[in-house]
Structure 1
Amino acid sequence: MALIINANLSDKVTEYITNKIIKMEYKPGDRIVESKIAKELKISHSPIREALRLLERSQLVEHIPRKGVYVTELVESNVESLFEIMTELLVLVGKKTIKKADDNDIKQITSIVERAFSAAKVSANEDYYNNVIAFGIFCLSVCKDTLLEQIILELLPSIQRILYLSFTAHENNLSEGALLLVKGATAISERAVDQTEILLRKWLSLEMVNAINGLKAGHLLKHSPITA
């Protein structure tokens, strides 16, 4: 596969590697081989190294001195922490969406969530995942808060990775989560701030449990290290 060359090649390479990590083509603990990627994309090593530096900031990869770059292992305590942080951030997104969304925005939110619910009913896991991510990104765009967007987008690849792996490894409760999303979208359309927060927290709590159980079922989760 040759990558189309453009002015921002490192971003394209970052997206390419990110998708491979999210979709488990590069598994936790796998080494990222620069020469292999360079051959696949028919590019030099320079944009690959820059992409790996960006991915290290997103905690998708880690550089081990004298050994190379490896896909970050999934640790239970880190997954829990990520969900806790994203919960607070997404509650803020929900509140700002209610404040700034117009009628067309509400229609778009409702449409995305309806597609997610339809996908969940037929266990179309990847479609469900795509629409869940689309729902979050669209609401974030409605907020028009550049600082909030910057913070969330830095964490987004890690949450995408966990949600994709958990949805594809563990099919139970997709409809339950999708129903909470539908109720949340209704609360947003009714400008019900408190109800939106309650439903977002309930949905994210459910998805954290599903993620941990799904990752454990797929033998993809390491136990948190024991500290003294």
Structure 2
Amino acid sequence: MDFNAAPCLAEQIADYLGDLIIRGHLQPGERIQEVKVTKELKVSRGSVREALLLLERRYLVQNVPRKGAIVATLTHTDIRGLYNLLGCLYALLGRDVVETWQTEEDLLPFDALIAEIEAAAFANDSDKLFCLSFGFSNVAKKLVGNTFLNQTLENLRPVFSRIYYQIVNHDPNELIFIADFLKKSMQLVRARAADENRELVKQYFERQCQVALSLYPDLGQTDKKIIS
């Protein structure tokens, strides 16, 4: 019999609070009151504290001495740094997909997801497209099987999700752009055009960074180019 360990209570609490942050129900700088969360979820204060530590590692919460946990604020420097890294990591993932796939059967899951993503984009279903986009990258990670790359991307997923959720809900045209990008990327993967795909991914993240910067207030950081 297989043993499937259920997520610990602290992880469940962290996922719940993290989703509230990602979807904007908890705003940057807003204090997360341990007592309030304890009462609302009917859990122990120790589990809530452990969950807040997990959220800090996910870059969603800051634990401030004598003040407690607050929703992390993303500066323009943070956003540029994140997208600089994401552009490099996803370019590596794309290269590995080009080098790894062997038969058309390997690419069928991508094709199915692209069809669903296009349908969600044309239906202006931002929530569905948001989820399917990460499903697309999950299929790529599974195909490639690069443990270290996969774990790094997974560690960055919560903070990336927070920005990405705002982007897909910002403008319906963004949904079409994302669907078109994924479709073009898969065409290049099929053609084993690794260099062209790398450039496409780089341009995609450069553009999305600029959209993200327009959605978050400038806290006074000096402008820097995202990807050199």
Give the TM interval when normalised to the shorter protein: 0.7 to 0.9
CA distance 1:16–1:7, shift in 2 (3 Å): closer
- Runs of at least 4 residues off by over 6 Å: none
Offset at 1:124? 1.7
1:164 & 1:150 partners in 2: Cα distance?
21
1:60 & 1:79 partners in 2: Cα distance?
13
1:222 & 1:39 partners in 2: Cα distance?
36
Q: Could you tell me which residue of structure 1 aligns to residue 46 of structure 2? A: 46
1:118 & 1:22 partners in 2: Cα distance?
24
Task: Name which of structure 1's ranges 84-93 and 37-46 shifts more when overlaid on structure 2.
Answer: 37-46
Offset at 1:94? 0.8
Q: Could you tell me which residue of structure 2 aligns to residue 20 of structure 1? A: 20
Instruction: Report 1:62-211 matches (<5 A).
Output: 62-102=62-102, 103-211=104-212
Q: 1:109-145 deviations in whole A, cap 9, x for unaligned?
A: 1221222222222322222211212112221222211
AA aligned opposite 2:36: K
Aligned-residue sequence identity (percent) comes to 27
CA distance 1:118–1:50, shift in 2 (3 Å): same
2:143 aligns to what SS in structure 1?
A: helix
Conservation of the 8 A alpha-carbon contact between 1:87 and 1:200:
yes
Structure 2: give runs of 5+ residues left out of the alignment: 224-228
2:222 & 2:65 partners in 1: Cα distance?
24
**Normalized against structure 2, the TM-score is what?**
0.87
AA aligned opposite 1:70: I
1:224 & 1:55 partners in 2: Cα distance?
26
1:7 & 1:84 partners in 2: Cα distance?
32
Conservation of the 8 A alpha-carbon contact between 2:168 and 2:174:
no
1:140 & 1:224 partners in 2: Cα distance?
37
Q: Could you tell me which residue of structure 2 aligns to residue 55 of structure 1? A: 55
Q: 1:164-186 deviations in whole A, cap 9, x for unaligned?
A: 01221333333123212110012
CA distance 1:224–1:110, shift in 2 (3 Å): farther
2:66 & 2:91 partners in 1: Cα distance?
42
Offset at 1:7? 5.7
Task: Name which of structure 1's ranges 119-128 and 53-62 shifts more when overlaid on structure 2.
Answer: 119-128
1:186 & 1:170 partners in 2: Cα distance?
25
AA aligned opposite 2:136: F
CA distance 1:44–1:222, shift in 2 (3 Å): farther
Q: CA RMSD in A?
A: 2.1
Structure 1: give runs of 5+ residues left out of the alignment: none
CA distance 1:226–1:192, shift in 2 (3 Å): closer
**Normalized against structure 1, the TM-score is what?**
0.87
Q: Could you tell me which residue of structure 1 aligns to residue 226 of structure 2? A: none
CA distance 1:7–1:55, shift in 2 (3 Å): closer
Task: Name which of structure 1's ranges 100-109 and 79-88 shifts more when overlaid on structure 2.
Answer: 100-109
2:14 & 2:196 partners in 1: Cα distance?
37
Offset at 1:6? 4.7
Question: How many positions carry a matched residue from both structures?
Answer: 218
Conservation of the 8 A alpha-carbon contact between 1:177 and 1:207:
no
